[in-house]
Amino acid sequence: MFVQQLVNGIILGSIYSLIALGYTMVYGIIMLINFAHGEIYMFGAFAGMILVVFYDVPFFLAFLLAMAFAGLVGLTLEYLAYRPLRRSTRLAALISAIGASIFLQNLALLIMGARPYTFPSPFTPRVYQSTLLTISKLEIIILAISFLLMIGLTFFIQKTKIGKAMRAAAQDIDTASLMGVNVNQIISITFLIGSALGAAAGVMVGIYFRTVTPTMGLMPGLKGFVAAVLGGIGRIPGAMLGGLLLGIAEVMAAAYISSQYRDAAAFAILILVLLFKPAGLVGSAIQEKV
């Protein structure tokens, strides 16, 4: 029972991790909580569903196209809603983010209507069983894709020239530009990657629950935010760890306390982290950049 719940928690958590990465990468560079990130996730899910259901695109191709599409949406969002406010107060950008979130959700409602769409799973519903654990093929694939994406991102950030420029910009944006880094370009790339990861999460949740709706981004968006704060906002490894821990905590709360407390557990964690370790698990003491 415990092992089963643990694995369920990791599956859910890996989804949260992917979403949390989008929040944390953006925050790391421009100190903005992109509250429209949940809507990017929803756009990704819709793009994947539309391609598979209406255009018969093979699943993995649709998956990649959905990531690319959401990446472009994120990039456009930054360009239209955040870039003009770059030199304004952080509150102005935050309000713009909330506005963008409402706008994108209503745009989806307008185009697609309020009814849920079915997103059939492309995988045979095979289930693997042992005494400790029951796991479906779909769940294994979700785990594999999530971890591959996270490993790929880690490699990109640590080893490539652009990845290093992203880290440098996150530590000191002005000095990065003195090194020859085009900061606007780096911010665009950050939105592109963060949004693409969010879309990957959206598509996987779409096939897991077999539905997509225009409001599906709200709760996972908030949970991804909690996961990012839990790990230490702005810290990429923190987002991965925070997502996994949040997923596990949520599943454990549902299994051992009551499934009604599922969401309560997530937000209780947010409150506890903010009270006792506001810099997050991986975060060091908050450094104000001068």
Partner 1 sequence: MLTVEGISTYYGNIQALKEINLKVEEGEIVTLIGSNGAGKTTTLLTISGLLKPARGRVTFCSRDITGVPPHNIVKMGISHVPEGRRIFPQMTLMENLEMGAFSRTDKREIKNDLEKVFHIFPQLKGREKQLAGTLSGGEQQMLAMGRALMSRPRLLLLDEPSMGLAPMIVKEIFQIIEEINSQGTTILLVEQNAQMALKTAQKGYVLETGRIVMQDNASSLLENDDVRKSYLGE
Rank residues 177 and 215 by Cβ distance to partner 1 and give the closer one. 177
Distance between CA atoms of 202 and 195, rounded to whole angstroms? 10
Nearer to partner 1, 265 or 279 (CB): 279
Q: Which is nearer to partner 1, 165 or 230 (CB)?
A: 165
CB of 94 to partner 1, least distance (A): 22
Find how far residue 237's CA is from the centre of its chain: 13
Provide, rounded to whole angstroms, the least separation between the CB of residue 163 and partner 1. 10
Instruction: Pick the closer one to partner 1 by CB: 106 or 175.
Output: 175
Q: How far is the CB of 235 from partner 1 (least distance, A)?
A: 10
CB of 179 to partner 1, least distance (A): 5
Query: What is the smallest separation between the CB atom of 244 and partner 1, expressed in angstroms?
Result: 22
Residue closer to partner 1 by CB (options 11, 176) is: 176
Q: Which residues contact 263 (CB under 8 A, 6 or more apart)?
A: 219, 250
Which residues of this protein are in contact with partner 1, per CB under 8 A? 161, 164-165, 167-168, 171-172, 174-183, 290
